[in-house]
Amino acid sequence: MAAVMNSERALPAQARPRRQAGRDLAGAAIITAAAVIGYLLFPDNLALLTRIVAVALLVLSLDLVTGYCGIATLGHAALFGSGAYTAGILSAHYGITDPLLMTLAGIVGGAFAGLVSGVVILRGHGLPQLVLSIALVHLFHEFANKASSWTGGSDGLSGISADPFFGTFEFDLYGHTAYVFAIVLLLFVFVVLRLIVRSPFGMLCRGIKEDPVRIRAMGASPKAALLKMYVISGAVAGVGGALNAITTQVVGLDSLSFTLSAETLVMLVLGGTGSLFGALSGTVIFMLFEDYVSAASPFHWLTMVGVLLIAVVLFAPKGLYGSVAAFLSRRREAGE
């Protein structure tokens, strides 16, 4: 945190906003370029790319609480699934099929689940947080299973539909509209999160991760700040859940599974914690690699995935993106 603050102070005050705005534009441009490349490379598999975007939103939300705040959790799928079920129930049971309203419902559902989860998880530290998060995701899963009249139970929630976007662009069978809608949501969330993590509130959360005792001595409330970040994280995960419900038109119990939570953490570690681009790159690499090797070797693909993860942890402990960024930073400092 000190290094980040010192680098920012070293810049002239008038240059900081321009540099930050330039980074935001560069980040949005990179995401847009990657989306176009993905469309050109996988024109017949846009459903996979849309799923990657939905999961990427979940990984971004996890990075907010784990990478930036240091909260240990293995139950983040509870927030994703809450957003998905809220959007799906709104459509299937109340006939509200506007995609923007469904997305807003997902945000509310995810934020509420984040509030509930934050209140419980923040009562512990370290390993107790992991235990509480695992218990929560199982409780959310079992609640959705028992409330079958609303959620469809083990059969899943079906009957979800979405109106054409702006009354013109239909969610077609080939997934063109769904993919564009997903990219627009990702760009919007990415820019908002960039503003949050470099704001005074974001710096406070980073400070809490490094030294909560000092933050408390300064008069701030670590628990209140972390709870706010957990709610924001839930809203982001809810966007991903709503996107998944809108584009697949079904919500299953797997959206609330412990397996999804564990895979989300793996993706974050693979890309690098404490970095929005790390979260995005980890998701894309993991899901594309998983899709490719499972098709190439249906019986041994888990072994290949395991080897990849072990190699990354041993030789790139900061994650793939984090290690590359650190290497380039060292080269730049050496050049200066």
What are the tens digits of pLDDT across the range 90-108? 999 999 999 999 999 999 9
Q: What percent of the chain has pLDDT over 90?
A: 62
What token pair was written down for 190?
């990415």
Annotated domain spans of the chain: 19-256
Distance from the Cα of residue 187 to its chain's centroid = 13
5: pLDDT strictly greater than 50? no
pLDDT for the residue 44: 86
What's the predicted TM-score (pTM) here?
0.91
C-alpha to C-alpha distance for 36 and 63, rounded to whole angstroms: 25
pLDDT tens for each residue of 124-156: 888 889 999 999 999 999 999 999 999 999 999
DSSP state of 171: -
Query: Which candidate, 275, 279, 252, places its Cα nearest to that of 265?
Result: 279
Which of 46-50, 163-167, 299-303, 308-312: highest mean pLDDT?
46-50
DSSP state of 165: B
Q: Which residues of 156-177 are buried (b: 16+ CB within 10 A; e: fewer)?
A: bbeebebbebeeeeebeeebeb
Integer CA distances (angstroms), 15 to 6, 8, 10, 11, 84, in order? 15, 10, 10, 6, 41
- Mean pLDDT to the nearest integer, 74-103: 94
- Mean pLDDT to the nearest integer, 287-302: 85
- Mean pLDDT to the nearest integer, 13-32: 72
**Residue 17 — very low, low, confident or very high, per pLDDT cuts 50/70/90?**
low
Among 142-146, 158-162, 270-274, 312-316, the range scoring the smallest mean pLDDT is 312-316
pLDDT for the residue 11: 47
Query: Which candidate, 124, 126, 120, places its Cα nearest to that of 78?
Result: 120
pLDDT for the residue 125: 84
E strands present in 117-241: none
pLDDT tens for each residue of 207-227: 998 888 888 888 888 899 999
DSSP state of 315: H
Among 84-88, 90-94, 320-324, the range scoring the smallest mean pLDDT is 320-324
335: pLDDT strictly greater than 90? no
**Residue 266 — very low, low, confident or very high, per pLDDT cuts 50/70/90?**
very high
Sign of CA dihedral 134, 135, 138, 144: negative
**Residue 16 — very low, low, confident or very high, per pLDDT cuts 50/70/90?**
low
Mean pLDDT taken over the chain: 88
10: pLDDT strictly greater than 60? no
C-alpha to C-alpha distance for 49 and 64, rounded to whole angstroms: 23
**Cβ(246)–Cβ(53) under 8 Å?**
no
pLDDT for the residue 19: 67
Integer CA distances (angstroms), 129 to 95, 135, 209, 246, 270, in order? 38, 10, 14, 32, 22
